[in-house]
Amino acid sequence: AQSVAQPEDQVNVAEGNPLTVKCTYSVSGNPYLFWYVQYPNRGLQFLLKYITGDNLVKGSYGFEAEFNKSQTSFHLKKPSALVSDSALYFCAVSRTGTASKLTFGTGTRLQVTL
C-alpha cells in the first residue's frame, strides 16, 4: 500500500517570505512523487515531479521540491511567496509505471498575505 501525509492543513506566510509545504510518503519500491496545485472549483495543475536523478527538482511558477529518501520526504518550497500562490496544494505518490494510480495527501491550504 502507498500513502502520503501532509501534516499541515494550512500554511500562512507573508508575501516575499520563503514558504515550505511538507509532504512525507510511503511506497514499496522507488517512488514517483508529484506536487499539484488546485484553485477553487478547478482541476489540478501539475507543478513538478521527482522520478529519478537530482534530489532538488524545479517546477512551475518558481516552486521547487527536495526529495529526501532517508526521511521519505518531498517538501515543496519557494524562496519568495506571492499572494497569487494562495491555493490548495496536493502531494502525490505512485509506484513506477504510467498506469499506476496516484495516491494523494489530504492537501495543504497555502495562504499568502500582504
Partner 1 sequence: GAVVSQHPSRVICKSGTSVKIECRSLDFQATTMFWYRQFPKQSLMLMATSNEGSKATYEQGVEKDKFLINHASLTLSTLTVTSAHPEDSSFYICSARASNPGVATEAFFGQGTRLTVV
- The residue ranges that bind partner 1 (CB under 8 A) are 32, 34, 36, 41-46, 49, 51, 90, 92, 98-99, 101-107
For residue 16, the minimal CB distance to partner 1 (Å) is: 28
Which residues on adjacent β-strands are paired with residue 19? Answer: 78
Residues 6+ apart with CB under 8 A from 43: none
* Closest C-alpha to 101, from 8, 34, 9: 34
The smaller minimum CB distance to partner 1, of residues 36 and 67, is found at 36
For residue 101, the minimal CB distance to partner 1 (Å) is: 6
The smaller minimum CB distance to partner 1, of residues 52 and 70, is found at 52
Cα-atom radius of gyration of the chain, to the nearest Å? 13
For residue 64, the minimal CB distance to partner 1 (Å) is: 16
The smaller minimum CB distance to partner 1, of residues 53 and 114, is found at 53
Residues 6+ apart with CB under 8 A from 56: 64, 65, 66, 67
